[in-house]
Structure formats: structure tokens, C-alpha cells
Amino acid sequence: MPKTKVALIGVGNCACALIQGLQYYGKTDKKQVLTGLRNHSLGGLTPSDIQVVAAFDIDERKVGKDLAEAIFAKPNNAPKVANIAKTGVKVHKGPLLDGVGDQTKTVVQFSKASDADVAQELKKAGAEIVINLLPSGATKASAFYAEQALAAKCAFVNTTPNFIASNPDWAKRFADAGLPLVGDDLVDQVGSTALHRTLLQLLAGNGVKITETYQLDVGGGTESMDTMDRTRDAKRAIKTESVASTLPYKTEVVAGSTDYVDFLQNKRDSYFWISGTYFCNAPMQIDLKFSTVDAPNAGSVLFDIVRAVKLAQSKKLKGSIEAICAYGFKHPPQMLTLEAAEEAFKKFVAENS
């Protein structure tokens, strides 16, 4: 079976976790394959069927370096869990555009190399799927790389909260080109939004009237820094909409990122507050802290999405692929309940394997 060839736009913390995960789960040790992944085999594909063939960044500590070295370069701070042998894939210099905000300028070292012809490099590498892992504030840069994916005839996976898959104009352009498009804003494997939605669904299903609830995150990666600077409001709107959609009635809901705390490194703490009433107006409250490491939280979902997009490509599906978007993203073109999204994804995989 030929490998699924992917290109990474942005060699930051998520890319670091993804590449380490490919090595970690590429081994055949049974215990390892059974822990930490939602699906080891999906549509007959395992993580070892995924191959990274190209990568782009703008930081001089990453550009020109082999991916094995670039993923551990500063300011990345995702934990190292695997020794990565040379991959033979050198990081190209991509155009900067709005990739770096005022805050992250303080931690990025700009490469002076000249910009690669992105579409050309994607074609040369034989890339089939482009994964956009740019900072969340990189709106113009995300659009630029989506254009390059179109030009190189690649599917596009948008992990950022910029609206691409959920924008009907982009969906039409990918559909017209015969290419799959999925997004927007990746869900985490053990995510605060999914946990919040599950708790609310459980309570509301049991007859609880939620009166107010919030979920506030603090994190320490550059993405948290960029969120504070450029996308706090947009991310808050996406998360709040996603959480509120779980309840069958309107109530006070706030969900979003609150602050950047450098010493947390790649960790993220989420604080939940839920207040409501149940039988004869009796009060109930939940006050909860949930701690995760950010980058590894993207790995398992990305493995599933890449393999599902490969299935879509093999069946010549095009445009926004709703079952993949609803399963893997917080702002899909069509929001489904967690159960309906899981069901739609399983059905999609079964029908297209």
C-alpha cells in the first residue's frame, strides 16, 4: 500500500507531536499500538501509512533543517518522547505574510532565506494532503497556503480557527478542483470543549436546568501567546457556540482562552464552572480543573483525519467533507452532537474503506 503523503505548514508544537507520534506508533509493539490512539487502524490504514514529505516554516532555527531537528528547535516546547532519526525532509522557507503577531515576534527568529515556491515544492514532494498548522492569527497566510494546495492539487486540512472549510466560497473552489477540504479548528483528543459539552449534555439529559457555565483556559505554548494577542475573541466565539449548541435551551455560557502563562510550557489548564438547579429547584454546582499537554492532544485526531481524507481522495470525494469536519473540528460547516458526529464519521469510514 503506498503511503499517504502529507505536507506540514508550520513546524511548531503540533508538528512536533505529530512526527514523534508517527515514530512512536510506527513500531509494532502491541502495547503501544493499543494505548493512546482512538483508532489504530482506520479504513485499513495505520499510522505507519502516513508519511510527511514536505514542511514549511519561517523561523531560522527550523528552515533548512531536517524535520528531525526542526521539530525540537525553540520556541517549540512540546515534550520529547521519541528520538527521531533523520527524515530526509528539509524545512522550506514559506512566505511570512501575517504568520507572526506582535507578541510572538518576541520569540520567533525570522529566517533570511528566500521564499520557496510552495505549490512547486508540494508537487515535487508528491504531497497529497496539506495540513495547515499555522498560528491561529495567521488568516492571510492560511488563505495563501490553501491557494497553494489548490494549485498543487492537494487536499487541505485546516487545524486553525480561520474559516476555510466552513466558508462556502472555499468549499466550492475545492469542490470545483475535485479536492477534499476539512476544518476548521481541530478538536483535541481529550479536549476541554468536548468535556464541557459532555458534562452539560449529561446534566441537561437528567433534567438539570443549567443557569450559568464557563470554561477558561490558560496555556504556555506560542499558540497561547498568539491567541492572547490576535484571536482571543474569535476562539471564544467558536468555543462558546460549540458548548452552547449542546444545550436544548439558551443560558449563560462562556468558553475561551484566558491567559498565557510562560512557565506552563506546552501545558494547558482548563477551569470549569457549572451552576444549575434540579428537582424542586435544588441547587448544584461543579467546580473543576482539567490539565493536559497541548500538542500531543492534536496527534490522535490528526491521524484519524489524514486517513479519512485519504479515503475521501480514493473515492474522489470533493469539497467540504462534512462527516470528517463534524468529527474532527470545532467549527465545521455543519455542527452535530458528539454522538451524531461520531456516528457520521464511523459510517463515512465504513462506506469509503
Ligand X SMILES: NC(=O)c1ccc[n+]([C@@H]2O[C@H](COP(=O)([O-])OP(=O)(O)OC[C@H]3O[C@@H](n4cnc5c(N)ncnc54)[C@H](O)[C@@H]3O)[C@@H](O)[C@H]2O)c1
Interface segment toward ligand X; rule CB under 6 A; list 134-142, 204-212, 257-265, 318-326: 134-142
Q: How far is the CB of 6 from ligand X (least distance, A)?
A: 15
Using rule CB under 6 A, residue 298 touches ligand X: yes
Among 6, 19, 50, 58, binds ligand X (CB under 6 A): 58
Nearer to ligand X, 318 or 330 (CB): 330
Nearer to ligand X, 179 or 301 (CB): 301
Interface segment toward ligand X; rule CB under 6 A; list 50-58, 81-89, 247-255, 271-279: 50-58
DSSP state of 330: S
DSSP state of 183: -
Query: What is the total count of residues that contact ligand X (CB under 6 A)?
Result: 37
Among 222, 242, 246, 258, binds ligand X (CB under 6 A): 222
Among 4, 13, 139, 270, binds ligand X (CB under 6 A): 13
Q: With left for phi above 0 and alpha for psi between -120 and 50, is residue 126 left, alpha or beta?
A: left
Site for ligand X in 70-109 (CB under 6 A): 76, 94-97, 99-100, 108
Site for ligand X in 190-219 (CB under 6 A): none
Using rule CB under 6 A, residue 4 touches ligand X: no
Q: Would you state the cell numbers that stand for residue 123, as one nine-digit string?
A: 508537487
Residue 180: C-alpha distances to residues 134, 149, 175 (Å): 19, 11, 7
d(CA 333, CA 323): 10
Interface segment toward ligand X; rule CB under 6 A; list 42-50, 132-140, 167-175, 203-211: 132-140
DSSP state of 47: G
Residue nearest to ligand X (CB): 12
> Which residues, listed in sequence order, are joined to residue 59 by a DSSP beta bridge?
110
Using rule CB under 6 A, residue 133 touches ligand X: yes
d(CA 70, CA 91): 8
User: Around 220, how many Cα atoms within 13 Å sit in the side-chain half-sphere?
Assistant: 16
At 185 the three-state DSSP class reads coil
Using rule CB under 6 A, residue 257 touches ligand X: no
Interface segment toward ligand X; rule CB under 6 A; list 81-89, 159-167, 238-246, 305-313: 159-167
Using rule CB under 6 A, residue 304 touches ligand X: no
Interface segment toward ligand X; rule CB under 6 A; list 6-14, 148-156, 245-253, 308-316: 6-14
Using rule CB under 6 A, residue 154 touches ligand X: no
Using rule CB under 6 A, residue 9 touches ligand X: yes
Q: Would you state the cell numbers that stand for residue 221, as one nine-digit string?
A: 505554548
At 10 the three-state DSSP class reads coil
114 exposure class (CB count in 10 Å sphere: 0-12, 13-18, 19+):
exposed
Which are the contacts of 345, defined by CB distance < 8 A and separation ≥ 6? 304, 308, 323, 324, 326, 327, 328
